Each structure stands twice: as structure tokens, then as C-alpha cells.
Structure 1
Amino acid sequence: MKFGTKAIHAGVFPDPTTGAIMTPIFQTSTYVQEAPGNHKGYEYARTQNPTRAQLQDNLAALENAKHGFCFSTGMGSIDTLMKLFNPGDEIICTNDLYGGTYRIFTKVYQNLGLKFHFIGMEDVANIESYINSNTKMIWIETPTNPTLKIIDIAGAAAIGKKHNVLLGVDNTFASAYLQNPMDLGADIVMHSLTKYMSGHSDVVMGALVVNDDNLAERIAFYQNACGATPGPQDCFLVLRGIKTLHLRMQRHSENGKAIAHYLRNHPKVDKIYWPGFEDHANHEIAKKQMRDFGGMMSFSLKGDKMDDALKILSGTHLFSLAESLGGVESLIGHPASMTHASIPREERLKSGVTDTLIRLSVGVEDVEDLIADLEQALAAV
């Protein structure tokens, strides 16, 4: 089954009672049992909900995996994942990653005894020197947030398998349409469904996807025991968003390409980070492991003046200044003070997140209007 067909049909089925083609919103907290323990697979909504079950099955199918699990937020999914590890365990992470992930690693789980190594992974061979008997997982984003670094998933997976270490991949920037880490050897795929997968800036949700049955059993236990589960209304909205994922991602990618080339040729732009450029680091790996290059990019201005960056950030009209990404509308952001504010400045600078870096989430509007919006904002600096 091709991706677009899976997005619409995989894991979902008409309601057997009414024939409703859209998955119903099962807005219930509990389920009637014929006798104690005699039920139809559903007991209590924290444990299981039919709307959520169909979304989880759909997500697993999109990532070519066996098991999917949804959580109330993307951070809820990472929090659940961290519960798989014990004090003394070590995790090797890319040093260019979402600020919320860095925060939960260093401010929560580091205090509970886990040890994290933040390293550059553009050359995955760097990973091996940090592996020891306590290493339990390699954690990567690719493309990374916000400098769009590309990490070789298959190469990292080979290192993980060599040392019996899990590989987890945050696939949020790419979405399941542009990239499928499970096919490249990943053990765990994470999504902030808030972003491209839902795609309409109206839901906050996260997901974990795995193949291994034992790993799935452990994640299911923590999902139920700790209770960071989403409600059925949000699950319905994500299911609805996924039905157009392939169409939206095609447009995001088309618009992203046009905007990236426009910015690269603008006399006031210094650096631009977008994996579709042939001279972007690891571009060939991106071509190999992605279907297209998406609508995320970051850029800096010549002169590196904060006042100029602030003028751009507040000077656009169609690009809205806001947190998050991946919606149908275009967004502009300042990672240093917004999405990555929790990362110490010296750590941000090591991975290229300067004080004047600007991040764009290019939406699905008419690209000529988006270019005109950036043109008038750049003219003011």
C-alpha cells in the first residue's frame, strides 16, 4: 500500500454500529462490563480508547512499524521513553536538538541518575567513542532543530546494533511522509504530532512507534501507569490531519525549496540552512533517507546584528511570529529566545544556534505571497 493510501485507510475502519466512515469520537471515561473482567477490550479510557487505538494503529502503519502509542504532548512521549532507563544508564544525544528535549534530559532525568552526552553527529563515527557498558540509547533528530543538520540514521543504527544499544529518532521535522527511520534500522521513532502530522496548529500530542514486542509492552505499561494519554477529540483531529499529510508535505516541500533559493540569493542574507542544497552538510545522506527536503529552514543576516533580526521577526505579515512549526500557516521564530531558550548560550553556540538565527516554518500558502512578505521585511533592515 502506498503512503497516501495508508494515510487515509491504514488502521482505521468504518464504525461497525452506524457505518460512519470517519472514526467516531468515543467521549467516555469508562466502559460497561458484562461481568467483572468480562469486557470488549476496553475498561477505562486512560488504558484504552477506540479513537486513540485507531490513531495508534494508523501511526504504526505510516512508520512501517507494529506498535504505536500516543501521549498528551510530545514531551509526554519523551518523558515516557526516559522511564525505560535506570539510574546510571547513559544516553548519547545529538548536540543540536529541541530545547524542550534538552531541558527534560538535563533538568529532570539527569537529576534522577541518567547521564547524557551531547555530541556532534554529522559524522556518526563520533558516536562510537562515547559508548561504554552503561550506554543504553543513541538519541538523534534529523533534520535537527533548528540548524537542519542531517544525521545518517542507517549509520547510527549500525553502531547501535553493534553495541546492543537502542537508537531513538525524533522524526518531527521530517514527518512520516518524508522519512521512515524504522526502515533504516531505528528501534524507536518519536513524533510531536502537534507539528506536521496533525498539521493545523489545533492539537498538542506526541507519539512513540516501535517494532519490538517487549519494548512495546514496557511502553504500554508506562503509558497506562503514568497516564499522559490524549483525549479522543484530539485523537480525532490528528486522524483527520493525517488524511492530507502527503498532500501538505508535498506543498511544504515545494514552497520550502522556493523560499530557500530566494533567501540564498538575497544580498542581506548570510547563511541559510536547508538540506536541499547540494553544499549542505550530508546532503547526499538527506537525498538517500528522505523523500524530499521539507519546509523547515533557518537563516542569519549579514552583520549579525540583533536589531536587524528583531526587525525581520516583527516585520512579516504572513509569517506569524510564534512558537511551534508544521502547520498549514507559515511561522517565523527566534530559537535563542523561544524554542531553545532553555539551552545555555554557550551550548547553543556550539551547535550554531546564534543569537540572531531566524527559523522559518514555511506553510502551504501561495509561495509568491510568502516571498513578497519576506521581501518587504528584509527591505526594512
Structure 2
Amino acid sequence: MAYFDNNATTPLHPDARQALLDASTENWANPSSPYRISAKVRASMQKCRESIASYLGTDPDQITFTSGSTEANNSVFSNLARTADPSSRVLLSPYEHPSVTEAAHLWFSDRVDILTAQSDGTVSTDDLEAYLSKGSLPALVSILAASNESGVIQPWREAARICQKYGVSYHCDSTQLPGKESLNVISLCTFSVFSAHKFGGPKGIGWLIGDGASSMLVGGEQEKGRRGGTENYPAIASAYRAWESIVQAPIDTVGLSSLRDDFEEQMEKLFPGIRIIGKTSSRLWNTSLLIMPEFENIHWVGKLDKLGFQVSTGSACSTTKSGGSPIAQALAFSLSETQRLIRVSSFHGHTRSDWEGLVSAFAQAYASLKEESIDSSVISL
């Protein structure tokens, strides 16, 4: 596989593709309609919901199917703004996805507090407890499970327990966990969100777990009145099949991490001065965030793409924004450092040969960039 941008999206798993086709052909009826073919769809959809809930240790009634994590994150904050005290505040980690930070600022304006970023790319649970022990509790704490940029895993389980201790709602953007890390005790979180296209499912489907959270979409009584609009059962069936095939399968995190670690070791030998963000922290086994010693990331991405390898400059939701990288802002990277950020993210199926091929492609790309920088002030993509 030459595709190394799986934190942005993953290819549709063959089982999920077949489930999508089968459901679109056989179970296309509106699940809310009163006849038998609709009842069949309704029952199948409920089976998916119950199976996911059983795996996660939560109540099926707490699962609301959405279009994905962005909608789910927005729903948490919009619902909270309608129900919380008008003067209440929210507390976020500095590494959140834009769908969390922008939703928080949209609905809570200047009543948003940010935890201090640690140099290793995590937040301190001591800082969290110190904030909560001051007396005036926030309406919500939001700390993501793992950064989509650096892969650094946050102490989300401990954060959830601390929030429980103080009686504070805890929202965890768990989008990057499925298929990469254990989801054990995710039910500790008041709210957690998932997006199927991050683990081999189709785009446009995901779910929000949490009691009492309502979507912004009104005009229908679907999902127990929490989200208006006809449910997309074929996408739900496809997402569940990917969940079965990828998420519920055993993960050799040690072996998979070693492939990433060997890649980083080779890159450090090849490019003296390269920086690996979060190297000393616990990370997702598939993710490596690099600050290259030379040349802007857009040039690296273009050259590698021509060589048949896809990597990214960071979060796909931030690449069109100037200075839009959450981790670059949190860790106070300079503009030059931010412009040299490259994220590499693999997935199930990548082999040692794939990783070694990527190292070779970086070497070829560097030779091309170096030659062009000598010959001309303009580097071609």
C-alpha cells in the first residue's frame, strides 16, 4: 500500500463495501414506515446498534446515528448551550479537532478555557484536577482520546474518572481510536463520538454515544427524537461490518508499532535534524508526525505523490487554513516549523515493505527537491 494518510480517511473495507451493496439492494425501505419491509430494516438497524453498544459496554438507547464525528461534536456543544446555565464555561484540551474548538467558541463564545499543553503533546490530569477543584465547575470538559495529527494518546480514561469525581460531564472525541487502540471503558465518558470512514467504513455515517444529547437536526422523530432525517441504513450496515472486521479484531499493537518505529529510525538516519513529535509519548501505532529539516511540506507531499505515496501536511480539516494545525498552535511551533510538518499514518494491511518503500520515496523526493533548489528558486510540484 502506498496510501499513508489513513488518519484523514481509510479505504472502504471489502466486507463493508459488500454490506453497503447488499443493504442498498435488499433493505432500502424507510425504517420509519409502517409496513413489513420497513420493519425488517428497522430490526436490522437496531441489531447493529445493540451489537455496537454491547462491544462498548453501553446502553443501545444511548447511541444516536449521525453523519459522523463533526456532526456529533457539534451536537454536544449546541445541545449543552441550550441546556446549561447561560454563564457556564467549558474546558478543552489544546489539541482538539476544529469541530470541537470551533463549536465550543460558536456556542460559548469567550467562555472557553484551554488546558496547558505539555511538551510531550499530552495534557496533565493534575492540571485538570486543579482546575476542577477551584470550585466553579465547567458545564463540560472535552479531552480527545488521541490526536489525529501526532497520534499522541491522551490520558482520557483518567480524565473521565476525575470528571466523574467532580460530577462534571466529559466529552471524548474518540474518532481516531477504533482499529488502533483499545476502547475499554469508553462508557466512562459522558459523550463519545465515532466516524466510520476512519476504520474502513463509508463516509457520512457515525454515531454519538451519550444520554440526553440531541442533534441540531430537527423536523423528524428519528433516533428517538434526537436527530431528524431518514436513517441511512445501508451506510449503518456497512459501518457495522467494518466495525466487526476491523475494530473487533485483535490488534498486534506491539508489532505494528515496531514498523512505525523502524521507519522513524531510518528517517532520523536519512535526515539529520528531523523532529518526531510525541516520540517519547504513548502514540497510536500507525501515526508519525515529522518536522522535516528542509523544504515546505506542500513540496514534499507533491513529490511523494508523484512517486506513488500519499502523506499529508496534518489534519485534512485544517490543511486549507493558515496556521490551522491544532498541535502546531498548542506547542507553539514557529511558522517555518509548521510549514515543514508532515503526517504519516498507516492502517491495517501495511507491511514492512510498504514502510521501507516510503523511506526510499522520501530519499528520492529529497534528491529532487535539492536539485531544483540549486537550479532554480522555484520548486515544482
TM-score normalised by L of structure 2: 0.69
Assess, with a 3 A threshold, how the Cα gap between structure 1 residues 103 and 78 changes in structure 2: closer, same or farther: same
Alignment partner of 1:375 is 2:360: yes
Give the drift of 1:184: 7.6
CA offset digits 1:297-356 (Å, max 9, x no partner)? 2112124x31xx2332122359978xxxxxxxxx52112775355585596533246232
What residue is the counterpart of 2:87 in the other structure?
88
Looking at structure 2, the residues matched to 320 and 41 of structure 1 have their Cα atoms a distance apart, in angstroms, of 45
Higher RCO (C-alpha under 8 Å, 6+ residues apart): 2
Q: Does 1:301 align with 2:292?
A: yes
Which secondary structure state, in structure 2, belongs to the residue aligned with residue 175 of structure 1? Answer: coil
Change (3 A) 1:227 1:122: same
Q: 1:174 to 1:73 in 2, by over 3 A?
A: closer
Match of 2:328 in 1: 349
Distance 1:31-1:54 versus aligned 2 partners, 3 A rule:
same
1:372 Cα offset (Å): 1.0
Match of 1:72 among 58, 67, 82: 67
The size of the alignment, in residue pairs, is 318
* Alignment match, 1:128: 129
Deviations 1:202-244 (A, max 9, x none): 322221224xxxx258679887354266411111211221221
Q: How do 1:249-260 and structure 2 match up within 5 A?
A: 250=251, 254-260=255-261
Corresponding residue for residue 45 of structure 2 = 52
Q: How far, CA to CA, are the matches of 2:26 and 2:237 in structure 1?
A: 8
Q: SS state of the match for residue 96, structure 1?
A: coil
The equivalent of 2:33 in structure 1 is: 31
Q: Distance in 2 between matches of 1:177 and 1:57?
A: 22
Q: 1:51 to 1:75 in 2, by over 3 A?
A: farther
Tell me which residue corresponds to 1:98. Answer: 97
Structure 1 gap ranges (5+): 1-19, 34-38, 287-292, 322-330
* C-alpha spacing 1:183/1:242, structure 2 compared with 1 (3 Å): closer
* Amino acid of the structure 1 residue aligned with 2:193: M
The answer to whether the Cα contact below 8 Å between 1:189 and 1:209 also exists between their aligned partners in 2 is yes
Give the aligned residue type for 1:296. Answer: T
Which residue in 1 is equivalent to 2:195? 192
Q: Report if aligned partners of 1:99, 1:341 keep a CA contact under 8 Å in 2.
A: no
**Pairwise mapping of residues 134-213 of structure 1 onto structure 2 (< 5 A)?**
134-175=137-178, 178-180=181-183, 182=185, 185-196=188-199, 199-200=200-201, 202-210=202-210
Gap change, CA 1:91 and 1:339, over 3 Å in 2: same
**Matches of 2:80 and 2:365, distance apart in 1:** 51
Distance 1:92 1:159 in 2: 13
Higher strand share: 1
CA contact (8 A) 2:125 2:158 kept: yes
Q: 1:333 to 1:127 in 2, by over 3 A?
A: same
Matched-pair contact (CA < 8 Å) for 1:71–1:229: no
Output the CA distance in 2 between the equivalents of 1:52 and 1:264. Answer: 46
1:359 has 2:350 as partner: no
For residues 81 and 333 of structure 1, do their structure 2 counterparts lie closer, same or farther at Cα, with a shift above 3 Å needed? same
2:56 pairs with 1:63: yes
- Between 341-350 and 147-156, the greater mean CA deviation after superposition: 341-350
What is residue 116 of structure 1 aligned with on the other side? Answer: 112
Give the whole-Å Cα distance in 2 for the aligned partners of 1:336 and 1:376.
22
3-state SS in 1 of match to 2:289: strand
SS at match of 2:136: coil
- Per-residue deviation, residues 163-193 of structure 1 (Å, max 9, x unmatched): 2101221222121662225358322221122
Residue 244 in 1 paired to residue 245 in 2? yes
Q: For 1:333 and 1:346, how far apart are their aligned partners in 2?
A: 12
What is the match of residue 6 of structure 2?
A: none
The root-mean-square deviation of aligned C-alpha atoms, in Å, is 3.9
Output the CA distance in 2 between the equivalents of 1:314 and 1:173.
25
Change beyond 3 A, Cα 1:207–1:319: farther
Aligned to 1:328: none
The one-letter code of the counterpart of 2:185 is: M
After TM superposition, list the pairs within 5 Å mapping 1:212-361 onto structure 2.
215-216=211-212, 224-227=225-228, 230-246=231-247, 250=251, 254-266=255-267, 267-268=270-271, 270-273=274-277, 280-281=280-281, 283=282, 293-303=284-294, 305-306=295-296, 309-317=297-305, 331-335=310-314, 338-339=317-318, 341-342=320-321, 348-352=327-331, 354-361=338-345
**Is the Cα contact below 8 Å between 1:124 and 1:155 reproduced in 2?**
yes
CA contact (8 A) 2:92 2:112 kept: yes
The superposition leaves residues 124-167 of structure 1 with CA deviations (integer Å, 9 ceiling, x where unpaired) of: 11123433535122111122221233322232123212221012
Q: Is the Cα contact below 8 Å between 2:76 and 2:214 reproduced in 1? A: no
* Secondary structure, counterpart of 2:103 in structure 1: helix
CA contact (8 A) 1:144 1:150 kept: yes
Give the letter aligned to residue 271 of structure 1: R
Contact 1:71-1:228 at 8 Å conserved across structures: no
Local SS of the residue matching 2:189:
coil
CA shift, 1:21, in A, is: 12
Letter in 1 for 2:107: Y
